[in-house]
Amino acid sequence: MLTQSLFRDRIEAGRILAQQVKPAVREPHPVVLALPRGGVPVGFEVAQALHADLDMFLVRKLGVPGHEELAMGAIASGGVRVLNDSLVRDLRLPSRLIEIVAAREQQELARREVLYREGRPPIPLSGRTAILVDDGLATGATMLAAARALRQQKPRRIVVAVPVAAPDACEEFQAHVDEVICAFVPEPFHAVGIWYEDFAQTSDTEVRELLERAVHVSAG
């Protein structure tokens, strides 16, 4: 039974995570890629600690209609789609339904791309170590879509880094990326949000401000 949270908020989680990422990433000029929205405050702290560039990597979960928290898959920038085949099969979800949900989430992904970037181009990733950061890892569907999309951009190495993760999800990612850093792997896990005292939704405004701050810090 849970007696206390691991983190006060995403900022503290990012600072704790950064202490594990620093010794694991020795390459010059790494790029921290935060998954909006909740991953951006975490990624900002990691990027500051590493003196690394910060960018976002857009991914949208494909929730089962009527049970949106249940991920039947995810989509990412670059047209990548990952489906939870066993869930789709068990629930007998028709392909037409999946296409409707995917089209809606694609619209939201495109909206966020315009909103968050404010005209800034994506940071080039070819040949650089890319660190994918989120505020936690539950099923892993969203992060898996991000990793597969990122691989197409030919980074030198892909590292997944999260403050807290389900044991199965953390273990599974060893086969998909070059390194996985899960600061805490509690058992039983239940859900990401219970490990934070403050797990309020990160706003679009906060995402934009953090990305803009990161650009100014990098330029300075």
Checking if the pLDDT of 106 tops 60, the result is: yes
- Cis peptide bond N-terminal to 128, omega within 30: no
pLDDT in tens, 47-63: 999 999 999 999 888 99
pLDDT value of residue 71: 83
Checking if the pLDDT of 20 tops 90, the result is: yes
Q: Which one has a higher pLDDT value, 17 or 5?
A: 17
Q: Which one has a higher pLDDT value, 133 or 79?
A: 133
Confidence of residue 216 (pLDDT cuts 50, 70, 90): low
**Count of C-beta atoms within a 10 Å radius of residue 217:** 14
Confidence of residue 218 (pLDDT cuts 50, 70, 90): low
pTM assigned to the model: 0.87
Please report where in the chains the tokens 């650009």 appear, as a residue.
Answer: 215
pLDDT in tens, 188-201: 999 999 999 999 99
**Span 28-53, mean pLDDT?**
96
d(CA 12, CA 45): 8
Q: Let me know: does 217 contact 44? Beta carbons within 8 Å.
A: no
183 to 21, 33, 46, 47, 164: CA distances (angstroms): 9, 17, 12, 16, 6
**Span 79-101, mean pLDDT?**
91
Checking if the pLDDT of 185 tops 90, the result is: yes
Counting residues of the chain whose pLDDT is more than 70, the rounded percentage is: 96
Q: What is the CATH number of domain 10-58+124-219?
A: 3.40.50.2020
**Span 18-22, mean pLDDT?**
97
pLDDT in tens, 62-74: 999 998 878 898 8
**Span 131-159, mean pLDDT?**
91
pLDDT value of residue 82: 84
pLDDT in tens, 162-184: 999 999 999 989 999 999 999 99
SS3 49: helix
Confidence of residue 149 (pLDDT cuts 50, 70, 90): confident
Checking if the pLDDT of 219 tops 60, the result is: no
